[in-house]
Amino acid sequence: METPAAREKNPKYDMILEAAVKVFAENGFRQSTISQIAREAGVADGTIYLYFKNKDDILVQFFEYKARQVFERFRQEVDRAGDSAEKLRNLVRVHLREFQREPEMAVVYQVETHQSRRLVEGQIRAMAKMYQDIIAEIIEEGQREGVIRKDLYVGLVKRFILGAVEAVIGTWLYTGRSYDLVSMADPLVDLLIRGIGAGGPAARAGL
């Protein structure tokens, strides 16, 4: 089996991983087989084992490689923004855009983070930390700018934002992807920043 670095540079590795994501999304991870993945990728069953140990390893590699690539794009988009509100907007927008662009990936990520959590717990924890670290930076910057309350429990806000974005994606998947997911970015960020209260500090500040 190739080293991880060599694998990730091999087009066939990408092809197999993309095929696996499609098969997992259509059939569910537990019901999927190596033969189905090989057939979708257009390779022999034995070829799969040149790059992956087994089906479990394919899912682990999805979280370690494919999903990580997407989460790294989140950082790039945030770094392009000028202030905290724009950074949060960019983060949410790119999250929705990437999952809309690859709905099979969205299905696997949303479902398997719950159903196969024990198998990929380390990878999920690492990605969640990466995401929440970005949110924490945005919150702290917003507090310095005076646009985000300073009395917030940052740990709670991080989980709230991540949970809200994942709920929006989950609803989009559940309803058959019948609308533009990215169109939910601005309303969601406005809700996150302004809150739902009519007389709170944010409303008085005109945010």
Measured in whole angstroms, how far is the alpha carbon of residue 69 from the centre of its chain? 10
Report the predicted TM-score, pTM, of the whole model to 2 decimal places.
0.83
176: buried, middle or exposed (CB in 10 Å: 19+, 13-18, 0-12)? exposed
CB atoms within 10 A of CB 184: 19
Q: In the structure encoding, which two tokens stand for residue 148, read together? A: 């985000």
Confidence band, pLDDT 50/70/90 cuts, at residue 207: very low
pLDDT on residue 42: 96
- How far is residue 71's CA from residue 115's CA, in Å, rounded to a whole number? 21
Tens-place pLDDT, residues 88-105? 999 999 999 999 999 999
Nearest Cα neighbor of 135 from 165, 171, 112 is 165
| CATH code of the domain occupying 59-204 | 1.10.357.10
Residue 53 scores a pLDDT above 90: yes
Residue 206 scores a pLDDT above 70: no
pLDDT on residue 64: 85
- How far is residue 150's CA from residue 169's CA, in Å, rounded to a whole number? 29
Q: In the structure encoding, which two tokens stand for residue 150, read together? A: 């300073």
Q: Are 48 and 37 in contact (CB under 8 A)?
A: yes
**Distance (Å) of CA 199 to CA 30, 150, 196, 202:** 49, 17, 9, 8
The domains of the chain are located at 1-52, 59-204
- DSSP for 135-149 reads HHHHHHHHHHHTSS-
CB atoms within 10 A of CB 129: 12
Nearest Cα neighbor of 89 from 149, 165, 159, 154 is 165
Fold match flag (1-52 vs 59-204): no
pLDDT on residue 136: 93
Q: In the structure encoding, which two tokens stand for residue 26, read together? A: 């259509």
pLDDT on residue 45: 95
Residue 8 scores a pLDDT above 60: no
Residue 32 scores a pLDDT above 60: yes
Q: Are 115 and 29 in contact (CB under 8 A)?
A: yes
**pLDDT > 90 fraction of the chain, expressed in percent and rounded:** 60
Residue 138 scores a pLDDT above 60: yes
| CATH code of the domain occupying 1-52 | 1.10.10.60
